Amino acid sequence: MFQRVFIDDLVLFTEHIASAVRAGVPLHQTVELLAGEMVGRSFRATLVDIAGELRAGSNLADAVARHPKVFPDYFIRVLRAGEEGGALPDSLQQLAELIQKNYVVGRKVRKVFAYPVALVFFLSAFMFFYGTYIMPQIANIYEELGAELPTSFLFLIRFHYTAFSVTLLIIAVVFWFARRFARVGWSGLIFDWFDLECPFLGNFTRQALASRLTRTLGTLLRAGVPLPEAISLCGGMLNNKRAQASVETVRRSVERGETLSTSMITETLFPPTMIWMLSAAEVKGDFLATLDHLADFYAARVENTVLWTVEILEPLLILVVGGLMVILATALYTPVFNLVSAIGL
């Protein structure tokens, strides 16, 4: 389990360390200064500890490796390879770009679900207010006058209390299930299967994973990490067990001497276009450039999918909201008109 670290803090850390190494500034001083600029308290405490390790004579990779809950394995491995190869500034700069671009892809994935979730929350809050405060007052007025409530209003009252009770029950069950079982054991496999196999969502998830995998793999290979180890580190950064298993299968095939593209053919996780382009790159010899191209290509696909989804959802949600508003307005004003008629105004 990783501690929550602000992406801006992590990027700032890697970029400033790269600049300090290029300028010949002692690393422990740079890290101590950076600690005061961090937004997150936990990351600030982590940097203070790293500065102490550097002051005591430790190298950067070993000092960072003391905090595996903050820095992922690939981050530590790239640092170590950069130090061993004398290219630490370049490795740090590549890490900063990798973290930032992977974060952008992840944010676009979350954006697809944020809009409808926010709208559902707004509608739920409105329905709760309407059913809790407005409908009871109208019902009391009818009761005092001895008038009969309209059928539409009675239906809305019953629907409100039934839907509200069911919604609370569903939220409680889902929350308990998520806290107890989500991403753990067999239930985690169900979530992982749904992410990859669900229509539309599965294709979208695969494109996002392809972008992250190719970009991270290119960064690791440029740092001098051997291909099998780089593949293993890429798999370790994924939070989907099925995807991790596919990446691990590819790693074992590469260790047996197969090419990367050949190893991917049997795994449905990887898009056919990605496999074909990697196969061509292995023949032509521009493997790293192809990885960069694939990362940008799938990142653009993710962005286009997000834009298309939002464009489709907006009119649909407007129709749904408009329909609900018509129903609510009818149920709200029908009793008022009936009351006016009942009292003879």
Q: How far apart are the C-alpha atoms of 114 and 313, rounded to whole Å?
A: 11
Residue 333 is predicted with a pLDDT of 67
pLDDT band at 95 (very low <50, low <70, confident <90, very high): confident
Residue 2 is predicted with a pLDDT of 46
Q: How far apart are the C-alpha atoms of 278 and 283, rounded to whole Å?
A: 9
Q: How far apart are the C-alpha atoms of 201 and 29, rounded to whole Å?
A: 46
Q: How far apart are the C-alpha atoms of 119 and 27, rounded to whole Å?
A: 48
**Which is more confident, 232 or 87?**
232
Residue 291 is predicted with a pLDDT of 92
Domains of the chain, by residue range, sit at 7-71, 97-345
- Residue with token string 């950076």: 34
CATH superfamily, domain at 97-345: Type II secretion system (T2SS), domain F (1.20.81.30)
Residue 115 is predicted with a pLDDT of 65
Q: Six-digit token pair at 73?
A: 């394995």
* pLDDT exceeds 60 at position 8: yes
Q: How far apart are the C-alpha atoms of 239 and 4, rounded to whole Å?
A: 15
Name the nearest CA neighbour of 34 among 58, 14, 54: 14
* pLDDT exceeds 90 at position 249: yes
Convert the pLDDT of each residue in 97-119 to its tens digit: 888 777 777 777 666 666 666 66
Amino acid letter, residue 3: Q
Residue 278 is predicted with a pLDDT of 92
Convert the pLDDT of each residue in 125-174 to its tens digit: 776 777 677 777 777 776 776 666 666 666 666 666 566 556 656 666 66
Which ranges in 66-200 belong to alpha helices (H)?
Answer: 73-85, 88-129, 135-145, 151-181, 185-197
**Radius of gyration of the chain from its Cα atoms, rounded to whole angstroms:** 28
**Which is more confident, 21 or 329?**
21
Residue 104 is predicted with a pLDDT of 76
Convert the pLDDT of each residue in 29-57 to its tens digit: 888 888 887 777 888 888 899 999 998 98
Convert the pLDDT of each residue in 206-235 to its tens digit: 888 888 889 889 888 988 889 999 999 888
Residue 149 is predicted with a pLDDT of 67
Residue 277 is predicted with a pLDDT of 92
Percent of the chain with pLDDT over 70: 72
- What integer best gives the mean pLDDT of the chain? 78
Name the nearest CA neighbour of 260 among 211, 205, 212, 217: 217
- The size of the chain, in residues, is 345
Convert the pLDDT of each residue in 322-337 to its tens digit: 777 776 667 666 666 6
* pLDDT exceeds 50 at position 1: no
